[in-house]
Amino acid sequence: MQEKIVGKAAVRKEGLGKVCGRAQYIDDISLPEMLHGATVRSSIARGRILGIEFGPGIPWNEFVIVTATDIPGENEIALINHDWPCLAREFVNHPEEPILLLAHADRHLLPKAVAAVRVQYEEMPAIFTIEESERGETIVWGTDNVFKSFLLEKDDVDAAWATADVIVEGEYTTGAQEHLYIENNGAIAAYSREGQLTVWGSLQCPFYVHKSLVKLTGLSEEKVRIVQVETGGAFGGKEDYPSMIGAHAALLAMKSGRPVKIVYDRAEDMAATTKRHPSRIRHRTAVTRDGRLQAAEIEIALDGGAYSTLSPTVLSRSTIHAGGPYFWPNIRVKSKALATNCPPHGAFRGFGAPQSLFAVERHMDHIAEALGLPPEEVRRRNFLKPGLTTATGQEIREALDLEKLMERALAESDYYAKRKRFDRVNAGAGTKKKGIGLATFLHGSGFTGSGERYLNSLVAVDLTAEGRARVLVSSTEFGQGTNTILCQIAAESLGVDYDLVEMGPPDTSVVPNSGPTVASRTSMVVGKLVQSAAHGLKQTLLASGLLAEGYTSAEFVAAARTYVAQHGSLRAESRYQAPPGVHWDDRTYRGEAYAAYAWAVYVAEVTVDLTTCGVTIDDFVAMQEAGRVLNPVLATGQIEGGVAQGIGWALYEKVVWNRGRMANNQMTNYIIPTTQDIPPIRVFFAELPFGHGAYGAKGIGELPMDGPAPAILNAVSHATGKQFDAVPLLPEDMFLRMAVRQPEPAVVAL
């Protein structure tokens, strides 16, 4: 048997191709007789389409033109509520909504053609904020502008107010965030004379696109094939939107009979595609004088944009994470996702949890201030522990020790000494103030509640004629390390060299549906299935007599080649089965919300310049427990990247809206942190292996997005003595906040 590979820094499977320039991204691919496609989009936020004119100076007879009337199936992008049109037919509901499609052999002629199309509208009243949507004076979706609402209740919240020593209230807001993946959205579609549709794309979830195109085209499932090509980043932004751009390329290809490529430029990608949901979250908390949480009433409102897309599931995760990693004897969470006339908001790393965790972690610091207690002490006294239950009533059964995790983070950051020193120095007259803040949080691994049961994921491992093992999954690689991790898992389960395992193509005609590459589920859920399938394949080879226990990699290759030569193939499959004791009630929103949680404590050290109102992050400690670390280099990279993205959300990335349109849709005026803005990020892991994850793994990819923003703003508040409860916190926002009188804390002493 070979040396173990899980837990080691294996070389990335796709790394050499990327480094050497051999990797083919969507815009590198060209097919014979290929046309280029473009989209004509709405110039208003809401209205009725009265007519379309094709202006002079363009050889329109050379163009392929597609409108909603050309759609052979259902005019929808199939996600949850099926309300998202592929092309607007009579009404538009947000700026940049697709109305018609153009294709031509000369890609340079397309921008002129798009500009020459004139759409006449009858404008209708539009709404652009959560508050406008709530008022209901203008209804833009359904009967009340509410896409989805949830009510989560544990025990008797109302009775707790009467016995509380102190009640603390607060309101917290977060803005939209652009994914800004390095590669823009793109797709190529080809339609054969035999009625076979193939779409290649930069995407996360091949079977999502497949499902949508089957409904859109009216073709049978076997006639639609989706292939993920090399993908340059996603962060959730290529979970939902590839179904749209893939559909547009497919419609043009079907009408023209020629392959069609659509690749957005940066401005179009930023203006038209989905973003993180803006939020407004209100907390009302009953606490004892010694800092024990008694009850909470939490109200969550998310801006979903014009169509529901994935808002119901984003809201679900936001609701469940609203209480943070704390024990609440009584809690009520009321949440809703609301319609506005902005482009639809969708999936983004963290998927609703960052908004809720920002609110609860800022609120915990408010509680500490109201009680005159240190922020870490309020957290320590309320941490979830084995035997206690979460907001959904899920009992903590793992050997969790959040206090130990926090003390490690505080020790690594020298928190106690620095907090005292900063308090002393900040009392002076200087314009540079120092602060240190922490955030403690959790993130559920895998789909919420019954989600994994509904997905019913299937994976396979087979043998090639050359004697290599091949992992067959629809889980995709877009920079996070999926190919490497799954091959490590398979190699260890098979007991062979890592180099003898390869990934099958992410092609719906080849791989089974192992579910989408989202929700921090790939290593834990899909990885466990790969581990099981690989074990089954090994057992079959052993049972055949071609392989004996204690085999070497060379003996495995010889046995595999012989088996394939004799039998034609060998394929082992594994289908998801929920771990025992995981039960969820979708009606009451009670039970085991996730099979496992990852846990973390982050500490940020900052300097605030009172002259410029600029914030510099000097040091950042990220301490997390995410089960077994399968690949330490990739795991550390995930944390570092997530923290950097969280810093951007906290301090730099502000989407400027102008009547529902992103006004700063360029990299020159949508600011993200550079290497000069990122501090040393010191990453630490504690390992508490999860018995139902691959070799003990839990989810890790979304966790680091949750903690940076509250840790940073807690540190800024410590430095300045002012409370900041909204992100992003730009210098101008800080200036305005610092210029006004600090309001009295929202505290009622009883």
Which region among 383-392, 511-520, 573-582 has the lowest average model confidence (pLDDT)?
Answer: 573-582
Asked if the model's pLDDT at residue 367 lies above 80, the reply is yes
Domain endpoint, select from 553, 575, 597: 575
Question: Do 220 and 343 lie in a common domain?
Answer: no
Q: What is the DSSP letter of 525?
A: I
Give the pair of three-digit tokens for residue 612. Answer: 């410029």
In a domain, 140, yes or no: no
C-alpha 52/C-alpha 67 separation (Å) is 11
Question: Do 501 and 631 lie in a common domain?
Answer: no
Long-range pairs for 577-586: beta carbons < 8 A, 24 or more residues apart: 578/452, 578/453, 579/691, 579/692, 581/397, 584/448, 584/449, 584/450, 586/449, 586/450
Asked if the model's pLDDT at residue 66 lies above 90, the reply is yes
Question: Do 259 and 352 lie in a common domain?
Answer: no
586-608 pLDDT per residue, tens: 889 999 999 999 999 999 999 99
Asked if the model's pLDDT at residue 750 lies above 60, the reply is no
In a domain, 61, yes or no: yes
In a domain, 646, yes or no: yes
Mean residue pLDDT across the chain = 96
In a domain, 438, yes or no: yes
Contact 487, 481 (CB under 8 A): no
Domain limits at 518?
Answer: 15-23+457-575
Question: Total structural domains in the chain?
Answer: 3
Question: Do 634 and 562 lie in a common domain?
Answer: no
* pLDDT (mean) for 239-258: 98
Asked if the model's pLDDT at residue 539 lies above 90, the reply is yes
pTM summary value: 0.97
C-alpha 140/C-alpha 138 separation (Å) is 6
- The percentage of residues in the chain with a pLDDT greater than 70, rounded to a whole number, is 98
**Summary count for the chain: helices (H), strands (E):** 20, 29
Q: What is the DSSP letter of 652?
A: T
* pLDDT (mean) for 472-494: 98
State the pLDDT at residue 293.
Answer: 98
Domain endpoint, select from 534, 551, 575: 575
- What is the band of 624 on the pLDDT scale with cuts at 50, 70, 90? very high
Asked if the model's pLDDT at residue 742 lies above 70, the reply is no
State the pLDDT at residue 81.
Answer: 87
In a domain, 50, yes or no: yes
In a domain, 134, yes or no: no
Question: Do 710 and 737 lie in a common domain?
Answer: yes
Q: What CATH number is attached to the domain comprising 222?
A: 3.90.1170.50
In a domain, 157, yes or no: no
Question: Do 538 and 625 lie in a common domain?
Answer: no
Question: Do 315 and 434 lie in a common domain?
Answer: yes
Give the pair of three-digit tokens for residue 155. Answer: 């025990």
In a domain, 145, yes or no: no
* pLDDT (mean) for 518-530: 97
DSSP string, 425-473: HHTSS-SEEEEEEEEEEEEEESSSTTHHHHH--EEEEEE-TTS-EEEE-
277-333 pLDDT per residue, tens: 999 999 999 999 999 999 999 999 999 999 999 999 999 999 999 999 999 999 999
Question: Do 688 and 539 lie in a common domain?
Answer: no
Nearest to 14, CA basis, from 26, 24, 23, 5 = 23
State the pLDDT at residue 144.
Answer: 98
Asked if the model's pLDDT at residue 747 lies above 80, the reply is no
State the pLDDT at residue 54.
Answer: 98
- The percentage of residues in the chain with a pLDDT greater than 90, rounded to a whole number, is 95
- What is the band of 672 on the pLDDT scale with cuts at 50, 70, 90? very high
State the pLDDT at residue 741.
Answer: 65
C-alpha 677/C-alpha 130 separation (Å) is 32
* pLDDT (mean) for 733-750: 71
Q: What CATH number is attached to the domain comprising 324?
A: 3.30.365.10
Asked if the model's pLDDT at residue 738 lies above 90, the reply is no
C-alpha 16/C-alpha 264 separation (Å) is 27
Question: Which residue shows structure tokens 């505080």?
Answer: 410
* pLDDT (mean) for 43-49: 98
Question: Do 426 and 502 lie in a common domain?
Answer: no
Domain endpoint, select from 549, 575, 601: 575
- What is the band of 220 on the pLDDT scale with cuts at 50, 70, 90? very high
**3-state DSSP of 178-191:** CCCCCCCCEEEEEE
State the pLDDT at residue 737.
Answer: 86
Question: Do 472 and 607 lie in a common domain?
Answer: no
- What is the band of 740 on the pLDDT scale with cuts at 50, 70, 90? confident
State the pLDDT at residue 72.
Answer: 97
- What is the band of 712 on the pLDDT scale with cuts at 50, 70, 90? very high
Asked if the model's pLDDT at residue 584 lies above 70, the reply is yes
Nearest to 516, CA basis, from 304, 245, 246, 310 = 310
CA atoms within 13 A on the CB side of 16: 3
- What is the band of 481 on the pLDDT scale with cuts at 50, 70, 90? very high
Question: Do 324 and 393 lie in a common domain?
Answer: yes
State the pLDDT at residue 743.
Answer: 57
Question: Do 364 and 297 lie in a common domain?
Answer: yes
* pLDDT (mean) for 618-634: 98
Contact 268, 508 (CB under 8 A): no
